[in-house]
Structure 1
Amino acid sequence: MPRLPTVAIVGRPNVGKSTLFNRLVGKRLALVDDRPGVTRDRREGDAKLLGLEFRVMDTAGYEDEDPHTLPGRMRQQTEAAVRAADVALFLIDGREGLTPLDEEIARWLRAGQTPVIVAANKAEGNAGESGRLEAFALGLGEPIAISAEHGEGIVDLFESLRPFVEREEDEFEEEEDEEDPGRPLKLAIVGRPNAGKSTLVNRMLGEERMITGPEAGITRDSITLDWEWNGRPVRLVDTAGLRKRAKIEDKLEKLSGADARRSIEHAEVVVLLLDATRGLEAQDLRIADHVIEEGRALIIALNKWDVAEHASSLFNGVKRALEEGLSQLRGVPVLAISAKTGKAVDDVLKVAFDLRESWSRRISTGELNRWFEHAVDANPPPAPSGRRIKLRYITQVKTRPPTFVVFGTRVDQLPDSYRRYLLNSMRRDLKIEPVPLRLSFRAPKNPFDDRR
């Protein structure tokens, strides 16, 4: 797997480097205190920012001291971090403005080969705007305003970092192609008690691996099994039956249910098994909705088809009920199977691999924005109070599930119906299988917006 791009956070003491580091890695890994000099060694962590993934380094505050002193040795560590990084994020205190030490750090950064982004921190509201404007004098490009503590300016930070840390499309595709042959399909079987989950697992494995019987709730723990289907690796998870939470009083059943829900969170594709002799119930829709909310690909399998009555009307009725009950994801595959006889069990695996491929799909930026321009031209966004909402471009920030961000102005006024239009158009025009898609809208903070 290619190494992640690296971002080194640098600056004088007490400008908020560790606070920003903690925000980017999503954990309080670095100690934070009002006193300067808390950080001494380089600390590294895996960061995520609106789908961008990179390695981030928190460095000691840069001080102009003798190399043999402790501050001097700390500075040498900082210099080594910047040399090794793909980009340096130079933090200044936006409220305090430039200091002579900031200017000294800027001279050192300008003399190096590492690209530099200047960020005026502690700029919540417009508090750091004067400091940001002062930072133009450093000669390191246009500064951005952020607040590491309050999470402001994240979109501007994303746009500034993206050219340096976003890997090329072919690198993503190469990485995924290399992983596909040996990467097991993570497949979870879920459903209400006594739907036949363990029987289906046994049929897939070709052996009586799981205990089965007419009693409901035999399976308590989520059991993970590694096997192969037609030479392709599968990590199969059999889970406990999921009843409506209000009906659960037994502590062990509560734990089993929580374990099953964790299995959904770690799966790639989830098979929701229904008992065809009982049809679709409200609890089935609740489970399906949870799977979709977690961003997992979903298959509905109607089990016990060999003993179902009025099969054709039952199948059509279930499909209609799913279209109404799961309006956020239409077209979920529905298969009629029999775990007991083996009917259509192979079809479940084939559809699961196909869905996993679509769930992992990355669309090239060019293709995505050609579609986006056409979709916006065909149906422009509304103009609330006569003020145009301008959508500039779209980018895919991650896969599994496919996740997209649209950048534009006044996107907070965009109605949900327009978001649904874009998602439906994307599925249709880009031929995306019925897997969950995530779409959000971002607008860079404009300090003059409040003055209009």
Structure 2
Amino acid sequence: MSFTVAIIGRPNVGKSTLFNRLVGKKLALVDDTPGVTRDRREGDARIGSLKFKVIDTAGLEEAFDDSLEARMRRQTEAALEEADVILMLYDARIGISPMDRHFASWLRKSTVPVILVANKCERKDALADLGEAYALGLGDPLPLSAEHGEGMGELFDLLLPYEKEQVEEIAAKDRPIQLAIVGRPNAGKSTLVNKLIGQDRLLTGPEAGVTRDAIAIEWEFEGQKIKLVDTAGIRKRARVQKKLEKLSVADSLRVIKLAEVVVLVIDADISFEKQDLTLASHVINEGRALVVAVNKWDTVKDKNAVLQHIRDKLEISLPQVRGVPVVTLSALTGRGLEKLMPRVLKVYELWNTRISTSRLNRWLELMLEKHPPPMAKGRRLKVRYMTQVKARPPTFSLFMSSRGELPESYIRYLINGIREDFDMPAVPIRISPRTGKNPYVDGKK
């Protein structure tokens, strides 16, 4: 199974009923008597195409001695340690109890993401009192009926990011980092690659356009596998006339699309030109992580002025990715080269950032309180919750009411908040608003 889900809650809130619903069999005993489940039970669960392991747990009890209840609690704690995500159930017909509040406080301290589930919501009157669940500090409650199978589509949406996360992490473990070296002709890209790998692997020379094909080289830096790809120089489109150069440029743009981190090499003698900024913008639009390498730095006289000029240009032209690392070096002599790869690995790590759903929604509550969403059709837009659907680059879904469209300015406000509060400079961040109708309105499922 790709990830593990633990079902947790006080006795008799419907954990075993949900467990049976997810595994498609009546594996767990279900009865109105509280405390039927004592050991944790595991099963292979499925919602549509989504497959995962689910753990049914004993009802949480406030017991820490050697009693049966305390031993049951320890079984539940073991399930918590094993899980990638927790479903905390409470009985929506009864409402929030003091025990629910106590264990919600306990779960908030955990590093494992928590999804709050309001079970037994098959009747509309149960939906009316969901507001009190916000006091638990676990985000929006998901209305669900484990007995009747209502709300499973919404549960699918909330669990899907964890499948993608596990698949990406497993796939990335043994795979080399895809690192592309791009820039204008004669910026020193091939010289830089040769110096990095310690051999004259690529043809270099003073003539512009020596490299025509994208050349991939397997390399290793401090135990990390790297796939270095040198590319042909990219000039302004208006200057590209010959068919061969057009093919070379198209190949370079394809490499950027397949890369994970892109090093943009610029000539310090020429400094930033419009073509460099166009290339940088293209890298960001493709969702790649970016590092700027300022080559031929040993020939620069007023180093402070040139460096400030480059940083100002980046700040003005790429406001969507603040903090792009700038490394000054000489590919010919190797001076400053030791700074490049640590920056590449750091930005690659940021590009792979994962933020847990519970942590993300606690942050979202503060952002909404600080600056509420705008009005639409006379009513304020309601943001329900937020979840990260993928990394590489960090991409988030923002679930909201369907009354209106969230302005681009508000999305930028949230992106800037994520970048600042979670320390994620230099990488693209994407937020996709999603709207959906309440499945329980007008009796529709």
Interval of TM-score (by shorter of Structure 1 and Structure 2) = 0.5 to 0.7
Between the two proteins, the alignment pairs up a number of residues equal to: 306
Structural mapping, 1:70-109, within 5 Å: 86-88=46-48
Structural mapping, 1:210-229, within 5 Å: 210-229=202-221
Question: Would the aligned equivalents of 1:86 and 1:165 in 2 still touch at CA under 8 Å?
Answer: no
Equivalent residue, structure 2, for 1:405: 397
Structural mapping, 1:21-420, within 5 Å: 86-88=46-48, 141-142=149-150, 159-162=154-157, 165-167=160-162, 172=166, 176=169, 179-180=172-173, 182-410=174-402, 412-420=404-412
1:147-175 deviation digits (Å, cap 9, x = unpaired)? xxxxxxxxxx5x35235655379x739x7
**Does the C-alpha gap of structure 1 residues 194 and 412 become closer, same or farther in structure 2, counting only changes over 3 Å?**
farther
**Does the C-alpha gap of structure 1 residues 339 and 392 become closer, same or farther in structure 2, counting only changes over 3 Å?**
same
What is the Cα deviation at residue 239 of structure 1?
0.3
**Does the C-alpha gap of structure 1 residues 215 and 411 become closer, same or farther in structure 2, counting only changes over 3 Å?**
farther
Question: Would the aligned equivalents of 2:2 and 2:163 in 1 still touch at CA under 8 Å?
Answer: no
Match of 1:436 among 428, 432, 437: 428
Q: Secondary structure at the match of 1:295?
A: coil
Question: Would the aligned equivalents of 1:222 and 1:263 in 2 still touch at CA under 8 Å?
Answer: yes
What is the Cα deviation at residue 358 of structure 1?
1.1
Distance in 2 (alpha carbons) for counterparts of 1:276 and 1:395 = 42
Question: Would the aligned equivalents of 2:189 and 2:265 in 1 still touch at CA under 8 Å?
Answer: yes
**Does the C-alpha gap of structure 1 residues 163 and 443 become closer, same or farther in structure 2, counting only changes over 3 Å?**
closer
Structure 2 counterpart of 1:197, one-letter code = K
Question: Would the aligned equivalents of 2:266 and 2:276 in 1 still touch at CA under 8 Å?
Answer: yes
Which residues of structure 1 form unaligned runs of 5+? 6-83, 90-138, 145-156
Percent identity over paired residues: 49
Question: Would the aligned equivalents of 2:295 and 2:329 in 1 still touch at CA under 8 Å?
Answer: yes
Q: Secondary structure at the match of 2:384?
A: strand
**Does the C-alpha gap of structure 1 residues 244 and 162 become closer, same or farther in structure 2, counting only changes over 3 Å?**
same
Distance in 2 (alpha carbons) for counterparts of 1:234 and 1:411 = 47
What is the Cα deviation at residue 320 of structure 1?
0.6
**Does the C-alpha gap of structure 1 residues 164 and 355 become closer, same or farther in structure 2, counting only changes over 3 Å?**
closer
Question: Would the aligned equivalents of 2:268 and 2:295 in 1 still touch at CA under 8 Å?
Answer: yes
Structure 1 counterpart of 2:323, one-letter code = G
Question: Would the aligned equivalents of 1:391 and 1:407 in 2 still touch at CA under 8 Å?
Answer: yes
Distance in 1 (alpha carbons) for counterparts of 2:151 and 2:362 = 31
Question: Would the aligned equivalents of 2:269 and 2:296 in 1 still touch at CA under 8 Å?
Answer: yes
Q: Calculate the TM-score normalised by the size of structure 2.
A: 0.64
Q: Calculate the TM-score normalised by the size of structure 1.
A: 0.63
Q: Secondary structure at the match of 1:322?
A: helix
Equivalent residue, structure 1, for 2:72: none
Distance in 2 (alpha carbons) for counterparts of 1:267 and 1:401 = 12
What is the Cα deviation at residue 298 of structure 1?
0.3
Distance in 2 (alpha carbons) for counterparts of 1:330 and 1:271 = 16
Question: Would the aligned equivalents of 2:386 and 2:396 in 1 still touch at CA under 8 Å?
Answer: yes
